[in-house]
Amino acid sequence: MAVRPSNLAAIDTFLAIHAVRVYVRDVDRSLQFYTEKLGFRLVIDTKLQSGERWVAVSPPDGTTILTLVAPKAKTAEHKLIGRATQVVLVTPDVMRKFQEWSQRGVRFLSAPRLRRIKYDHGEASGRQQASRLLGRESPIWGTASARFSDIDGNVFSLVSFDELTHAIEAERREEAERLAAERHAARELEIAKQVQSRLFPQCLPPLSTLEYAGSCIQAREVGGDYYDFLDLGSPQRPGVRQLRAQCGARVSC
């Protein structure tokens, strides 16, 4: 069965990198390094059904997590301890983070450096997504970067917000604002729905010769339709005053 584009778009509304594995020698020692030295937060520390311990940390303002794994000796994963992870962390101010982490004992392989990258804006303009991210003014942008290692020698890159990451961050904030606006509108509609429901009669005028009911189902959360029960009999007739007192409904005579 073929999937229509509309359905496919609905399926792909959320996609993110879940976790990146980092191989370490001692999970507890590495956990202390990432939380105390780098300021990461503990995401999970539990045991799986297999008996394996699952420990993961994440940057304070990040969605991707790092899973700290202590592989067994003489395995292929154990040989990956102390190598470049190819993980790149981004921060608004590399120099400030460099000074902060250096004071905490984090070892940097070099001082932050400024790199300027030039790209062909003409070639990128043929690809809508690329041209939108790679810039709208100058085909040259720069970024400050530095490399550091954790307690096991695993190497990470630390870079600053450049034109590319600024564009991605702007998109992320725009999407977050859109979702917040949708949630706010949904709350407002729910409140309006509750208020509107209280305007309808809360009880039925008693009739000994007729069974009746009323209901209003809006096409959306709220609408402009309304119904009421009108008693057109004599105001002196027994039951009308009692009805007004008990129901508080709008009864016209």
Helices within the chain (DSSP H only): 5-11, 27-32, 94-103, 121-124, 128-134, 163-199, 240-247
- Whether residues 208 and 157 share a domain: the answer is no
Cα gap 146→78, rounded to integer Å: 26
| 38-50 exposure pattern, b = at least 16 Cβ within 10 A, e = fewer | bebeeeeeeeeee
Q: What is the CA radius of gyration of the chain?
A: 32
Cβ neighbours of residue 152 closer than 8 Å, sequence gap 6 or more: 23, 24, 25, 30, 81, 82
What pLDDT shows up at residue 171?
74
Cα gap 230→69, rounded to integer Å: 73
Cα gap 246→249, rounded to integer Å: 8
- pTM, entire model: 0.56
- Tokens coding 199: 């305007």
Among the candidates 57, 81, 105, a domain finishes at 81
Q: Identify the CATH number of the domain in which residue 93 sits.
A: 3.30.720.110
- Whether residues 29 and 72 share a domain: the answer is yes
What pLDDT shows up at residue 4?
46
Half-sphere exposure of 169 (CA within 13 A, CB side): 12
- Whether residues 130 and 66 share a domain: the answer is no
What pLDDT shows up at residue 203?
79
Beta bridge partners of 101: none
In this structure, are residues 59 and 190 in contact, taking their beta carbons and an 8 Å threshold?
Answer: no
Over its length of 253 residues, how does the chain's per-residue pLDDT go in tens digits?
344 444 544 445 567 788 999 999 999 999 999 999 999 999 999 998 888 899 999 998 777 899 999 999 999 999 999 999 999 998 888 899 999 999 999 999 989 988 766 656 555 444 444 444 444 545 445 678 899 999 999 999 998 866 556 666 677 778 888 888 888 888 888 888 888 877 888 777 777 777 878 877 777 677 777 778 777 765 555 554 454 444 444 444 3
What pLDDT shows up at residue 3?
43
Segments forming the whole domain that contains residue 206? 200-253
What pLDDT shows up at residue 252?
43
- Whether residues 70 and 17 share a domain: the answer is yes
Cα gap 211→126, rounded to integer Å: 70
Report yes or no on 193 lying in a domain. no
